[in-house]
Amino acid sequence: MPVFTYRGLAADGRTVSGLVDADSPRSARLRLREQGIFPTELTQSATGATRSVKSVSGFFFRRRVPAAELALATRQLSTLLAAGFPLVDALSALAEQTHRALLKSIFSQVREKVREGSSLADALSAHGQIFSNLYVNMVRAGETAGALEIVLERLADYSEKQSEFLAKVRGALTYPLIMLVVAGGIVSFLMAYVVPQVTTVFSQTAQALPASTQLLLWLSNTFTRDWPFLLTAALGVPLALMAVVRTSWGRELFDRWILRVPYFGPMLTKIAAARFARTLATLLSSGVQLLAALDAVKLLITNRALAQEIERSREAVREGHGIGATMARSGRFPPLLVEMIRVGERSGELEPMLERAADAYEREVAASLAQLTTLLEPMMTLLMAGIIIFMILAVLTPIFQLNQLMQ
C-alpha cells in the first residue's frame, strides 16, 4: 500500500505533518479528514506502491535502527497497550510520535497488515532485518498467551540491557584503538620526514655508526623507499583475512582459533555466555518453548563453534536430555553457567538462574574490560616512550661520538 507524506491543519488550528497509508491520494485525504486533519500538502513517499516496501526494506535496512531507539518504541507500544489502546490505534499513535521518518513507514505498514487481519508477529516478520527472530518469537508468544504488553515490556528491558552491555564493550575498546592509530601516525611521520633529515649528515661521514643508528637508518630508508608496498600490505593482508573469514571453512577455523587466544578467548566466551543466558531467560519467561528458544538463541551467537554446541544442546533436549549435561560435555561453556543451568533444571527455576548467570558474566566482562583498559593505557604510553627514546638515542649517540672526535 502506498505511503503518503502529508502536511495540514488539525481541528484546533495546529500545523501537523506525518505519514498516512492509503490506496490513492483521494483515500488518503478522506482518512486524514476522518482524523480531524485538513491536508494542505500531500505527496506520495518513494515512487508509489511498487517501491513503498522496497524503499523501506532496502534503503532503511542499510542504515539500521539503533537498538536504544527500537527499545524505546517497544516500551511505548507496551505502555499504550497496557493503557487499553487497541493494537491498531497503538500502532497509529506510535507511528505518529516516532521522529525517524523510516520508522514511521515501518510502523505504518505493520499497522495496515494488522488492520487487514494479520497477527503482529507476522506483520513484524516481513521486516526481518529490523525485527530479529528473537523479537518476532517473543511477540508471537505474547499474542498466544494474551500478555502482549508484558512481553513487550520484557523485550524492551532486554534490548536496553543488551544495548548498555555492548556500549560498555565499545567504550572500553575505543581509547586503545585511538591510541594505536595516533601512535602509528606519529611513528610514520617521524620515520618518513624527521629521521631522514636529521640523519643525512651521518651518510656524509666515514664514522662507524652504532648498531641502533644503523637499524634506525635501515628502517627509515625501507619506509620511505617501499612505502607503497608497505601500505598495500597493511591494507591487503587484513582484507585478505576478512575474505577468508567470510567463507564457511575460514569462519569456522577463525572462531575455533579465537576461543584459544589467551585472555581474549575467555572474554569472548563470557560475552557469548551472558548473551545466551539473558536471551534464553527472556524467551522462556515470555512463554516461548525451550526448543524454539534455543533455536532463536543460536542465531544470536556469532561464534560458530559455540553456536554448534547450542545446536547440539537443542538436539539433546529434543531427545529428552538436559541442557546442562550437554554443555558440560562440550567443555566450551564456562563452568558457572553449566552449574547454574543444572541447578535451574533440577529446581524448576531455570529462568531466574539464567538471569543470575547473565548478571554475573556481564559484571565479569565489565570488570575485565576495565582492567584491560587500565593496563593498555600505560603499556601503550610506555611503548610510545620506548620508541621515541630509541629514536633519540639512535640520533644523538653518533653526534656525541663525533663531538668527542673533533675535540
Residue 383, domain member (yes or no): yes
pLDDT at 56: 38
Q: Is the CA virtual torsion 31, 37, 40, 45 positive or negative?
A: negative
Residue 117, domain member (yes or no): no
pTM equals: 0.59
Residue 133, domain member (yes or no): no
pLDDT at 45: 59
- Domain housing 273: 158-407
HSE value, Cβ hemisphere, 13 Å, CA-based, for 374: 6
Residue 312: CATH number of its domain: 1.20.81.30
Residue 380, domain member (yes or no): yes
Q: Considering only CA atoms, which of 401, 386, 387 is closest in space to residue 202?
A: 401
Name, of 48-62, 90-104, 159-173, 202-216, the range with top average pLDDT. 90-104
pLDDT at 198: 67
Cell numbers found for residue 301:
551467537
pLDDT band at 406 (very low <50, low <70, confident <90, very high): low
CB-based contact 82:95 (threshold 8 Å): no
Residue 141, domain member (yes or no): no
Let me know whether 41 and 162 are in one domain.
no
pLDDT at 363: 87
Let me know whether 172 and 30 are in one domain.
no
Let me know whether 37 and 162 are in one domain.
no
User: How many distinct structural domains can be found in the chain?
Assistant: 2
Between CA 74 and CA 65 the distance in angstroms is: 12
Average pLDDT over residues 231-246: 82
How many percent of the chain have pLDDT more than 70?
A: 88
Convert the pLDDT of each residue in 36-69 to its tens digit.
787 777 777 543 333 333 433 333 334 467 777 8
Residue 393, domain member (yes or no): yes
Distances (CA, A) of 387 to 190, 200, 375, 392, 396: 11, 20, 18, 9, 14
Residue 59, domain member (yes or no): no
